């Protein structure tokens, strides 16, 4: 690059490899009175070179027709790659806070409406699906039951055992001071049957099955598989969601029962080894303290939470936006929302049944 007689002379190659250095060099001459840019000696140019020329022209406020001196090769390349005639990129309008609040509220109302329709759809088709299997894949309920129930049993059993051990150990240390060792059985029985068993199972299900439901449906949505089902006159809720709904309904009492019994067994281990209680005394006390109401409440709310997990997973799956990133986003949202609602509904349940509000 050279400056003489109000002209900037460029020669040799003007490509993406040479432009960064030339750009720095250009700023040495920017304050000179430049009226012409001479490109006669350019031997090779690409679109980066042309963009650089356009940038020089805009910085110097020159017009290409009056200020460029080009050889034939550069002239043809310039005609193809110049951005001088293109309109500037318009930045997206910033939205003010009231518009954001308003559109947020409309989105909320829309999601309430969509959620209500989805709950109605799932409830209707799940009920109809008990009597009429049309529109469902053969064996899909068993397949889902194996995934939701059998595959989850190991992790639920392990965590329930650990939770039972921790719960008993923490309370045993306190109870021992007062000679109230036997009450560890009361604590384990009531807490595992009414709270810890159902909640632990539901949280594992939300992480495992809720994410799987959301991501499966979302992926089907973005790859147009849902549209393909609709085009084949197959109801996607009946085909995809109902088998999961039925499977979770079958599995949840078994999983919660298993979790509860294993958790109590963890307590039994601590009672026998640390509190010197006999296994018979512990078991008798457990049956003595538990009422039918505890078991009904524990299992009843488990059903309710499990259905909430399926509905939330399906809702986020069907409402995915975008591609791969959207699938990841709705999967995370589904898991967070499932756990949040399970805990909120459990708190409401406790208020209703134990404090009789």
Partner 1 sequence: MKEPIISVKNLVAKYGEETILDNISVDIYPQEITVILGGSGCGKTTFIKNILKLYQPFSGSVKIFGKEVTSIDEQEFDDILSRIGMLFQNGALLNSLSIFDNVAIPLEQHTKLSKNVIEKMIKVKLDLVNLSHAINMVPSELSGGMKKRAALARAIALDPDILICDEPSSGLDPLTSASLDELILKLKDLLNMTIVIVTHELASIHRIADRIIFIDEGRLLFSGTLEDAKKTDIHEVRTFFEVGSF
Nearer to partner 1, 79 or 130 (CB): 79
| CA–CA dist 320, 220 (Å, integer) | 10
Binding partner 1 (rule: CB under 8 A), the pick from 20, 28, 106, 142 is: 20
The bridge status of strand 36-45 relative to strand 2-4 is unpaired
Nearer to partner 1, 83 or 350 (CB): 83
User: Which residues contact residue 159 at a Cβ distance below 8 angstroms, ignoring those fewer than 6 apart?
Assistant: 200, 204
Q: Single out the segment in contact with partner 1 by CB under 8 A; choices: 49-57, 136-144, 190-198, 268-276.
A: 49-57
CB of 100 to partner 1, least distance (A): 19
Give yes or no for residue 104 binding partner 1 (CB under 8 A): no
Which string of x and - marks every residue 296-325 that binds partner 1 (by CB under 8 A)?
Answer: -------------------------xxxxx
Nearer to partner 1, 51 or 119 (CB): 51
Nearer to partner 1, 75 or 293 (CB): 75
Please tell me the count of residues contacting partner 1 according to CB under 8 A.
30
CB of 325 to partner 1, least distance (A): 4
Give yes or no for residue 43 binding partner 1 (CB under 8 A): no
Binding partner 1 (rule: CB under 8 A), the pick from 7, 83, 143, 181 is: 83
CB of 44 to partner 1, least distance (A): 9
| CA–CA dist 290, 269 (Å, integer) | 19
Report the interface residues with partner 1, using CB under 8 A: 15-16, 19-20, 23, 46-48, 50-52, 54-55, 76-77, 80-83, 86-87, 89-90, 92, 321-326
């Amino acid at each position: 690059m050279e400056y003489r007689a109000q002209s900037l002379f460029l020669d040799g190659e003007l490509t993406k490899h040479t432009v960064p250095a030339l750009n720095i060099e250009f700023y040495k001459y920017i304050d000179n009175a430049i009226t012409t840019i001479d490109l006669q000696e350019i031997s090779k140019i690409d679109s980066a070179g042309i963009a650089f020329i356009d940038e020089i022209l805009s910085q110097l406020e020159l017009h290409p027709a009056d200020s460029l001196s080009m050889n034939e090769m550069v002239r043809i390349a310039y005609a193809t790659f110049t951005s001088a005639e293109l309109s500037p990129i318009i930045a997206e309008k910033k939205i003010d806070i009231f518009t954001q609040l308003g559109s947020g509220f409309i989105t909320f109302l829309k999601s309430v409406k969509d959620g209500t329709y989805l709950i109605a759809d799932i409830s209707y088709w799940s009920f109809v699906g008990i009597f009429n299997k049309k529109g469902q894949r053969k064996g899909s309920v068993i397949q889902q039951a194996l995934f939701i129930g059998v595959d989850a049993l190991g992790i639920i059993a392990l965590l329930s055992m650990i939770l039972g051990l921790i719960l008993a150990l923490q309370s045993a240390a306190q109870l021992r001071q007062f000679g109230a060792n036997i009450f560890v059985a009361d604590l384990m029985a009531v807490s595992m049957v009414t709270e810890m068993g159902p909640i632990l199972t539901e949280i594992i299900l939300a992480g495992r099955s809720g994410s799987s439901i959301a991501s499966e449906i979302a992926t089907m949505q973005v790859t147009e598989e849902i549209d393909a089902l609709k085009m084949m006159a197959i109801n996607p809720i009946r085909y995809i969601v109902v088998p999961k709904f039925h499977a979770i309904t079958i599995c949840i009492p078994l999983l919660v029962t298993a979790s509860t019994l294993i958790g109590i067994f963890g307590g039994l281990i601590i009672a026998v080894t640390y509190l010197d209680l006999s296994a018979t005394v512990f078991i008798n006390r457990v049956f003595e303290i538990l009422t039918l109401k505890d078991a009904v409440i524990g299992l009843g709310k488990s059903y309710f939470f499990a259905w909430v997990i399926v509905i939330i997973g399906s809702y986020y799956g069907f409402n995915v936006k975008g591609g791969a990133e959207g699938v990841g986003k709705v999967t995370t949202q589904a898991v967070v929302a499932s756990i949040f609602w399970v805990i909120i509904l459990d708190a409401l349940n406790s208020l209703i049944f134990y404090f009789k509000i």
